[in-house]
Amino acid sequence: MDLEDTLLMMPGPVPVAPKVLRAMSKPMINHRGKEFSAMFDDCTAMLKEIFQTQNDLMIVSGSGTASMEAALGCTIDKDDKVVAIENGKFGERFKDIATRYGQVVPLEFEWGQSVDLELVEEKLSEGAKAVTMVHNETSAGIRNPAEEVGKLAKKYDALFIMDGVTSIGGDDVKVDEWGVDIAVVGSQKCVAAPPGLSMISVSERAFDAMTKENLPYYLDLKAYKKSADKSQTPYTPAVPLFFGLQEALKIVMEEGMEARAKRQATGAAAIRAAMDAMGVEMFPQLNEVSGYSNTVSAMKAPEGVSGNDIKSAMMEKGIIIAGGQNRLSGQIFRIGSMGNVAPKDIMLTIQELELVLKKLGVVNEIGAGTEAAAGVLDTL
């Protein structure tokens, strides 16, 4: 099947608007010239609005993982303790990165299980330089309590380092209000730009904590700040990706973050309504401080059916959804509603999913899921 005929309904990369693709085909410019600096400043101003921050903001030519490593590599020294909250694949990644730099205090929950704030406080009360958490754990479709963890970090004088890779630009994320010292986002997720860039906001407090002797070279956030103050990057930027990012951010601004967050949350709610109508169980185990993700939905594979089989069957229909990662392989399947995913994309996905589930013997009749999703989407 031709790639142009496929529909990406996975948790990133997401469909990219044609105008973004066209922007990336512009002729190269001098990355140390005025034109690039103007574009850099434009992107930074829009990103600060999306992050809801007044902190310094840098753009890294590297994926979200690069900025995750920058956050830890610049702040954590070999004797520093890091409370690493894990309830999914990307929390595990944060933990693994932290082990390269400091002393990890792991706080591990079953993937998809809610974070226990009493345990977080218990670990922080024992002393730590930082706490890491994934706000929107894409691998499990769960939204973690960032605001509450931010309060605990402040109470115990720890840096709060947050992966907002799949929430910033798609959800109402209040970086400054929540006390997030370092927040990271990836270009290919909710802001719907091509992969390859990550954006990172850093508080003054976090910069003050960068006291280690040997900071990373390429990922030295002090170097990024020094260059950003001059509307530049310290090393050669991925110029075509900056062209694409600028255009994608303009689309975000035109829609408005309030409307964008509502659209993506409504899309996720429509998917959940469809699953309930079809008797398919959601995967996350929620408590009073967690919630379902507003940008990706994770469902348990129905009894007797592999999530990978559902993914493969959908792919044959030209719709790309995601399966489970690592230990969750085959156990779940996931549908993204982030970026520029429109209600019609969700409706088509649910319609085709119903056909797949009927063929696999999960549902006896089709229509209930589609009707339930339409009822939610009609509220937009």
Share of the chain above pLDDT 90, in %: 97
pLDDT tens per residue, range 113-144: 999 999 999 999 999 999 999 999 999 999 99
Task: Identify the bridge partners of residue 247 per DSSP, sorted by sequence position.
Answer: none
Residue 141, both tokens: 């479709």
pLDDT at 5: 74
Say if residue 1's pLDDT is above 60. Answer: no
Q: Is the dihedral of CA 147, 95, 228, 261 positive or negative?
A: negative
Q: Tokens in use for 227?
A: 């260059």
pLDDT (tens digit per residue) in 300-351: 999 999 999 999 999 999 999 999 999 999 999 999 999 999 999 999 999 9
Q: Which CATH class is domain 3-12+256-377?
A: alpha beta
Residue 161 in this model has a pLDDT that exceeds 90 = yes
Question: What pLDDT, in 10s, does the model give residues 74-107?
Answer: 999 999 999 999 999 999 999 999 999 999 999 9
- pLDDT value of residue 3: 63
Closest CA to 190 of 199, 181, 180, 201: 199
Sequence-ordered list of residues with C-beta below 8 angstroms from that of 243, at least 6 positions apart, any chain: 23, 24, 26, 39
Name the one residue in this structure whose structure tokens are 């549902």: 363
Q: What are the sequence ranges of the domains in the chain?
A: 3-12+256-377, 18-253
Whole-number mean pLDDT of the chain?
96
Full DSSP string of 131-178? EEEESEETTTTEE--HHHHHHHHHHTT-EEEEE-TTTBTTB---TTTT
| 213 vs 58, residue with greater confidence | 58
Q: Which two tokens stand for residue 202?
A: 């850093």
Question: Which residue reads 């115990």 in tokens?
Answer: 156
pLDDT in tens, 8-45: 999 989 999 999 999 999 999 999 999 999 999 999 99
Q: CB under 8 Å to 168, separation ≥6 — which residues?
A: 50, 51, 175, 183, 185, 190, 191
Average pLDDT over residues 219-225: 98
> Tell me, what's the pLDDT at 52?
98
* 285 DSSP assignment: B
Which residue matches tokens 């921050």?
A: 53
* Prediction pTM value: 0.96
pLDDT the model gives residue 2: 61
d(CA 356, CA 309): 10
Which H or E run includes 84? strand 81-86
pLDDT tens digits for range 354-375: 999 999 999 999 999 999 999 9
Query: In the CATH hierarchy, which fold is given to the domain comprising 18-253?
Result: Aspartate Aminotransferase; domain 2 (3.40.640)
**Angle at CA of residue 230, ends 198 and 166, nearest 5°:** 15
| One-letter amino acid of 179 | G
**What is the rounded distance in angstroms from the CA atom of residue 171 to the CA atom of residue 190?**
9
HSE of 312, CA atoms in CB hemisphere, 13 A: 9
